[in-house]
Structure 1
């Protein structure tokens, strides 16, 4: 295959490799076939920052941290490098892939040896970053800041430089207090701090009174937590229940630097800042759900217009967009297919200026990346605009490229009464498209070669121009009226469609009486929203047996997204979002699918899997096992929030908002007041309260913003998770950037209590 992600595991590097990177190399930075420019790259002394500049750019230069790099691909493994493959051999080429939505960096070295030095060297550094613990990450962060601020590179900082650095780090503190701390840290009384002294200064600066107070509440002598005291804290403060005794010993072993058998304040703070002390239940992060139920019983991570990196009018179609979606655990990708001029089907957003890519390249890319993030099945949602001839070519490419990965026969030779499970379909790729006849015909081998008028009329191509009329208002005549351009389906392509046959939706009654479990319909967002409001219970019942796919309105030319929660509330499985567009809607999707090992499948609550369910999201209190809960969140403090405005004197005025997404009655938002000029260690100590009527469907989003009284607040960071994954007690919420990547060491410290409503 033409595109393949290399493993980023540890690679032994020679001293020569390190020498090459420190000394620097002139590499070609390539953006297109015509844009290839030489840049000088080198690794800075901190061993974590890569610096580069043009020879002719005077003082201008750029830097990026190795922490931003996700992987190194070797050879012609990007579209840009593939396009210049004839000019530069594979052993000179490599690609740095960045986290999140940042574009890749395609580079060409002068010799294979030089390329290898950078490939091996950067991989080694990525491995180092991936294996750091919280303390090492924090030390690295402090070291990075010291390097940035040490302008004359003498390894020392005087008080004036330290004050400037504090501003850069989002701290606006009283000058006398800062000088007092500086003097305490300046043990040598030289008037400047070396890196070790600066780390000491930073530690005094970041001493956290709010953590010390919690520690004091449970410590007998105020110096340490004995084993029983720590157990008591875990039982009372963290609501850990019976496992508190075993956990106490494990935490002392893991986080306590001393051999005393007790926990010091330092070890206590380390635990609270770790993944175990985070808001997300560790056991829910792993794959833990029952994966043996029918596909219709799961929410499935799904992408719309997967081929786009930007908007759908002018954006670039790219194989990279498929790679990014699949690596994020997406399990349903969309492929818009059109006739290519040279007989090869192409993929792009039809009738627009988006660029075009080859169908066969998309399929090769899907093959390589389908099961990197998850073993569970991938659904290829075909939006088929091709004539019969090129449909047959598509069928050939699917069969030849995917081979055994493509599911081509029903699992046990029987017409299914319910859909197979993710477990049974592990490692398989399924095709969602129109089909001639049904599975019954396939098994009988009695296929006609042409799509009937009715089949054609019932197809569900997503038309961005017109909204479907309500299904219930269609007359029998409307339902079977053929479209003017009667096209045919290729038998070869039709035969590859098994469990995801696209059909038009004719109302819930029709589906209940005549629907087959392998038939699925697509709904525009507005139609789905209307059906959810008018016939919520019917929609939930329908989705226990059949799959439904929801797609964004054709009016969203900027590739914006709708709120997926409305669709999950009625059990829709394939709620397709524009993965390329960051924001609230993708935060919710990432939040829902963060659980269960990030495998892209989340089991629906039991009341959404029962075919006779009477659940309605509009009336949650009518559920037989209705048990509302109270969620109380004390927002205590924030830590090292990033600056929003890079202007030298600006410091953020942060506030925290908690947003609840769920059934209509549960939608709510509450926020703290803002703290003036402190992004470093703001303290709120404010409590926000919520009532949850359907906690099983609730997502909780924590947002931190920079308050602005004159205009809209600026976004600082967020974290979203399912309510069912929240750990009660004193917890840290590790914030993510707008595009979903971590921004260590930024966090919010909260105390959470959950109780039944009495």
Structure 2
């Protein structure tokens, strides 16, 4: 562990010198030692762009610095905490395509959190590559396993490092004032001076375990202290029965939880032995997963996974191969990896005839780049079950001729092997779809099929491609803008080999709810554009769609007019029982926040059980008339927004400080679409306080999502986004809770949170 020594010298009332020294981290480790010495690595961005850069690990043990020999003083840095993993060898499309030029044992790829692109690097020797791969993996593990106090100490060190502009290991009072602005705090000179002389000593030395005390005036939480005082008899500690009282009255916790939380979060050994909790331990508990607004029990698999597939909402991606828009964006196997990492369980493959007899995947009739079908399948095999063990559906949009359809079938069977479900479970034609549990570790092919499961046809049939009624082709697509009408009505033949691989997800045209009720098979499914679903469910007809989706799967996809790969609001589709609500995962925003929020529960496995009233064959639930269903019981949601902690800057200019406000948004059935917000706080993104209460009525709690948004208020233009967190209403924890904010990419913003008090009661 690194040690940080911070010395505060008060020279006179107008000048404070802060000196801090960071000793090297883990310098006994040979890999870390070599990384700190530095290496010249080749950064590879394309077949023609391969340039040497000097990389080294800085003394803080958490920052990677690199520059070109020709860049003068210019350099770049990134934090180890930005890294998700390190892949060694040819585990990126680019390095794989350069395998003849660069040996596998000299290559590695850095994968960042969120939507940031990967970084491909090549070392001069296998030994040097191994050093960086092993060293970075150790540092990533260390970064991911720090406890709350270690993260806080690291946060303090990071700020001091940033504030030391000339990197001389000293910080003048002028730099200290700049530090406050960097931390999103506006403070006059008198208060700033008081802050840095508060310890009232001429010399103060702080070791790592007490370095955070330098920030104690800023980090003090009056609102937490007041809650602590309400339940502490002596105002100094919470005895086990006092903590138990708080947990049951305010937090809605089960009986007997106090002792467990003291052992987990109380930093003082003496207090733990006396079975009590200090104010510091209380604050650590409130900032922990147990004090989060999201129920930590829902981070685990907790729903019944033995029901038919049609009884679940299933995380689904549209145009999964794209990293950008659907006109000129890049197609990449990395996009499939990113979607699968986020819990996606239905990916799309748009397949076309390619050169050399090899099918390709891309957005047809556009300038998007092309990737090989076989490479996509190989990627899916490797990454499909790293995040979730439950089935992955391959949604095939097939534009290939018979010959390359057969090649596709061969690749699927050869590459996937037993992973691909090619036979009926128990050899029986199903009356209802198999369950996620039945299909653990399996892939299902969604596409057209010759005949049904009851019998096999002996001839190759032709299917009429008829606008958006076709069960597989997304006729509301960019191709419609570029192809002749006559071309879209061509007949296409289907390969027997490919047809035989389709079992439980046979694509069929949708001819109406009545025919589906009369003769529809559970394994038959249709695809609908977003506008088609809205048309089918308008005028109070949502109950028919809900009932249809009890037995059969439905896939919904964005309108082809969304050429920028924007998304529609998925909540309207879920409210009508649609399971496979496909979104452009590469496009950040509200819609993906809602998708991430819904599938955050149930262990992030990509399957969420529908409410019971949407799983009954005689269901009469209508999203437009929630009060008409049996058991209707609306709830009142009251959220007291108390304070905010350590919001990031929006404008990186030195003097810019945010004016934050908090908005709470409710999404669900039409009656549950509402929002309310606090006032804004001037010039304080570090520890703003509101103490404002926002109230909502929730008509269908089982379908509602709650989204917390923090914005930087601007009276002259649109507010700037700071962070958000979205979760199911049923995953809300009552009481005093922290909402830990996420970035636009859905990645955590270190230490940024909103402190709230949540109350849920029956509507009287």
TM-based fold match above 0.5: yes
Matching residue of 1:200:
213
Find the counterpart in structure 2 of residue 450 from structure 1: 461
Question: Unaligned 5+ residue runs, structure 2?
Answer: 1-25, 481-485
User: Which of residues 241, 251, 255 in structure 1 aligns to 2:265?
Assistant: 255
- CA–CA distance in 2 between the matches of 1:43 and 1:257? 31
Q: Is the 8 A contact 1:376 1:427 kept in 2?
A: yes
Which is worse superposed, 447-456 or 139-148?
Answer: 447-456
Output the CA distance in 1 between the equivalents of 2:306 and 2:27.
44
**Is the partner of 2:622 in helix, strand or coil?**
coil
Q: Match for residue 475 of structure 1?
A: none
CA distance in 2, matches of 1:196, 1:138: 10
Question: 1:546 aligned to 2:552?
Answer: yes
Alignment of 1:315-714 (within 5 A): 315-442=329-456, 446-451=457-462, 458-465=470-477, 484-534=489-539, 535-714=541-720
Q: Distance in 2 between matches of 1:631 and 1:542?
A: 32
CA contact (8 A) 2:27 2:33 kept: no
Q: Deviations over 1:654-676 (max 9, x none)?
A: 00000000000010010000000
Confirm or deny: 8 A CA contact 2:624 2:669 kept in the other structure. yes
1:600-627 Cα distance to aligned partner (Å, 9 max, x none)? 0000000000010110000000011000
1:276 match: secondary structure: helix
Q: Structure 1 unaligned runs (5+)?
A: 1-11, 469-480
Counterpart contact for 1:155–1:194, Cα < 8 Å: no
Per-residue Cα deviation, 1:75-94 (whole angstroms, up to 9, x for no partner): 11111111221111111110
Residue 735 of structure 2 is matched in structure 1 by: 729
Q: CA deviation at 1:745?
A: 0.4
Alpha carbons of structure 1 residues 438 and 80: separation in structure 2 relative to 1, 3 Å: same
Contact 2:465–2:491 at 8 Å: present in 1 too?
no
| 2:235 paired with 1:222 | yes
Q: Secondary structure at the match of 1:541?
A: helix
With over 3 angstroms needed to count, the CA separation of the structure-2 counterparts of 1:519 and 1:196, relative to structure 1, is: closer
- Give the superposition deviation at 1:151: 2.8
Q: 1:420 and 1:151, CA in 2 relative to 1: closer, same or farther beyond 3 A?
A: same
Work out whether residues 464 and 492 of structure 2, in 8 Å CA contact, stay in contact via their aligned partners in 1: no
The Cα offsets for residues 223-261 of structure 1, whole Å up to 9 and x where unpaired, read as 111111111111111122xx23x1111111111122232
Q: 1:338 to 1:239 in 2, by over 3 A?
A: same
1:432 and 1:197 mapped to 2: Cα distance?
58
Alignment map for 1:237-256 (pairs within 5 Å): 237-240=250-253, 243-244=254-255, 246-256=256-266
Partner of 2:13: none
RMSD: 1.9
Aligned pair in 2 of structure 1 residues 296, 147: CA closer, same or farther (>3 Å)?
A: same
Partner of 2:225: 212
The 10-residue stretch of structure 1 (139-148 or 92-101) with the greater mean CA deviation from structure 2: 139-148
Task: Choose which of 176, 190, 202 in structure 2 pairs with 1:162.
Answer: 176
Per the alignment, do residues 186 and 99 of structure 1 end up closer, same or farther by CA in structure 2, a change over 3 Å counting?
farther
d(CA) in 2 for partners of 1:690, 1:540: 26
Deviates further, 15-24 or 602-611: 15-24
Q: In the superposition, relative to structure 1, how do residues 455 and 312 fare at CA in structure 2: closer, same or farther (>3 Å)?
A: closer
- Does 2:140 correspond to 1:129? no
Superposition TM-score, scaled by structure 1 size: 0.94
Aligned to 1:97: 111
Secondary structure of the residue that 2:707 maps to in structure 1? strand
Tell me whether 651-660 or 79-88 shows the greater mean CA deviation.
79-88
The runs of at least 4 consecutive aligned structure 1 residues that moved more than 6 Å come to 192-197, 454-457
Summarize deviations over 1:142-170 as a string: whole Å, max 9, x none: 11111111234343323221111111111
Aligned: 1:49 with 2:54: no
* SS of structure 2 residue aligned to 1:626: coil
Q: 1:751 aligns with which of 752, 757, 760?
A: 757
> C-alpha displacement at 1:452, in angstroms?
5.5
Question: How does the TM-score come out when normalised to structure 2?
Answer: 0.93
Deviation at 1:199, TM superposition (A): 2.8
Is 1:218–1:229's contact at 8 Å kept on the other side of the alignment? yes
The equivalent of 1:473 in structure 2 is none
C-alpha separation in 1, matches of 2:488 and 2:184: 62
Say if 2:722 is the partner of 1:716. Answer: yes
Counterpart in the other structure of 1:9: none
SS of residue paired to 1:686: strand
Measure how far apart 1:398 and its partner are.
0.3
Q: Give SS of 1:59's match.
A: coil
- Paired residues of 1:157 and 1:194 also in contact (CA < 8 A): no
Asked whether the equivalents of residues 436 and 455 of structure 1 are also in contact (C-alpha less than 8 Å), the reply is: no
Give the direction of change, closer, same or farther, for the CA distance of 1:337–1:544 in structure 2 (3 Å limit). Answer: same
Check conservation: 2:88, 2:133, Cα contact below 8 A.
yes
Contact 1:733 1:747 in 2 (8 A): yes
List aligned pairs for 1:35-184, cutoff 5 A. 35-184=49-198
Cα deviation, residue 200, structure 1 = 2.0
Once residues 344 and 226 of structure 1 are traced to their aligned partners in structure 2, the CA distance between those partners, rounded to angstroms, is 70
Residue range with higher mean Cα deviation, 457-466 or 57-66: 457-466
Give the distance between the partners of 1:467 and 1:549, measured in 2 at CA: 19
* Offset at residue 568 of structure 1 (A): 0.2
Partner of residue 15, structure 2: none
Deviation at 1:172, TM superposition (A): 1.1
Deviations 1:82-116 (A, max 9, x none): 12211111111100000000000000111111111
